[in-house]
Structure 1
Amino acid sequence: MLNTTSDTAWTEAAGQIVRAGQRMDQRGWVPATAGNLSVRLADGRIAITRSGGHKGFLTEQDVIQITPEGVPLDPTKRASAETLLHTQLYAHDPSIGAVLHGHSVAATILSMDEPTDAITLAGYEVLKVFEGQPTHDTSLDLPLFHNDQDIARLSTVVAPKLSDMRLGYLIRGHGVYVWGKDMFTALARLEGLEFLLACHLARLQKAR
């Protein structure tokens, strides 16, 4: 078994994941054992939540180390079933340092009701939290993908659109994936996106 007690980089990454999990749980974005969180270390290792853990009660022991290919460094520990969606993002963009996946009420409802392949969000000040948006006077699309328990197959559907994703993406009936250069950025973008989705849902419900 790996000895991580003196591994400062891993300890810091695990601590960031624990704190982010608590924040996401407080906002109702990771019910039961839903969601997963990861951080990429400078040496290429990835710290990621283990399979089945409640994100509001994480400890460092609930965070495991995997290779860039998604293989646990400790073979006795099991990574999240959706690990491939994290490693896919890290492989796609070397600047990505953290990935977050949550299951909010707004994201779930909107993903199941939206008939097109994207949700368009426009005119909101909070859009400026996403890189490259200097003004609220813009619109961004959040791509939608059908849920699939075959994660490898789902990743092949997501892959061709990764370069055009400014907001992240949303899996129907499931939840959002958001990322950033570090955990602070990824969490800010997740909070921004969840706010935007809650606003979008409220406006649709008001119009009905």
Structure 2
Amino acid sequence: MSPHATQVADMLIAIGRRIDARGHAPATGGNYSVRLDDGSIAITISGSHKGRLTRDDIMRVSAAGDALDGKKPSAETLLHCLIYAIDPGAGAVLHTHSIAGTVLSRALAGQDHIGLEGYELLKIFPGIDTHATRVELPLVDNSQDMPAVADQLRPLLTAQSPLLPAFYIRGHGLYTWGPTAEAAEHRVEACEFLLSCAWEECKLAGATR
């Protein structure tokens, strides 16, 4: 690894431990990436436990998702590549799995967004400076066919102005990103908190599957 790639790997290892400690990375779920200076992507390998990452669990792929070091990328690497292609300002992408978000997304069967309104932490998103607003997180159906998921997401993301740096795959998990790994981690924490609040409100309102 180059000195920069080693630094990025260590940063992803630390992020993985923190996200796992919050219960948002069960089993080997989730994946994390950072865009490197040369345009390639450092990303967690397929099947790695995110709370026990080592440098060997971080690999490099091209902007198109092709492995550059012989390791096996996750199938969801394609979604990271999509985000980096659509958002030139994206420097890091984090994909998490929480109980609240997963169940909430399933409760919203047939809907194409998760509505979040009136929460102070909505200010984590670019361009929002008040709680008195509404954000609609794009929500797409899950599939083992990642190109098909990318095809669902591409028009939803490119149609946004400004681009909301987060979306949800129903019954699966959250993707969010930021200009730096630190910013992306802040948005993960905020989004998972907001999804937990939204699910609690659904339960209070008597939502059922």
- Is the shorter-chain TM-score for this pair beyond 0.5, marking a shared fold? yes
Aligned residues: 202
- Are 1:8 and 2:8 counterparts? no
Choose from 122, 134, 145 the match for 1:127.
Answer: 122
Which of 100, 110, 125 is the matching residue for 2:104? 110
Indicate conservation of the 8 Å contact 1:44/1:68, yes or no: yes
The residue aligned with 2:19 is 24
User: What is the alpha-carbon distance in structure 1 between the residues aligned to residue 136 and residue 4 of structure 2?
Assistant: 35
The sequence identity of aligned pairs, in percent, is 47
The aligned counterpart of 1:199 is: 197
CA contact (8 A) 1:40 1:97 kept: yes
Deviation track 1:54-83 (CA, whole Å, cap 9, x = no partner) reads 0000011100011111111112x1011100
Q: Which runs of 4+ in 1 moved over 6 A?
A: none
Task: Report SS of the residue matched to 2:16.
Answer: helix
Unaligned runs of 5+ in 2: none
Question: Per the alignment, do residues 88 and 167 of structure 1 end up closer, same or farther by CA in structure 2, a change over 3 Å counting?
Answer: closer
The residue aligned with 2:151 is: 156
Aligned-pair distance for 1:206?
Answer: 2.1
Equivalents in 2 of 1:131, 1:20: separation in Å? 22
For the aligned residue pairs, the C-alpha RMSD in angstroms reads 1.0
1:36 aligns with one of 31, 34, 45: 31
- Runs of 5+ consecutive residues of structure 1 not aligned to the other structure: none
Does 1:91 find its partner at 2:85? yes
Alignment partner of 1:22: what SS?
A: helix
Letter paired with 1:145: V
Distance 1:121 1:150 in 2: 28
In the TM superposition, residue 94 of structure 1 has moved relative to its aligned partner by 1.4
Q: Match for 2:85: what amino acid?
A: A
Separation in structure 2 between the aligned mates of residue 143 and residue 111 of structure 1, nearest angstrom: 11
Aligned-pair CA distance for 1:117: 1.2
Number of the residue aligned with 1:180: 178
Q: Tell me the equivalent position of 1:62.
A: 57
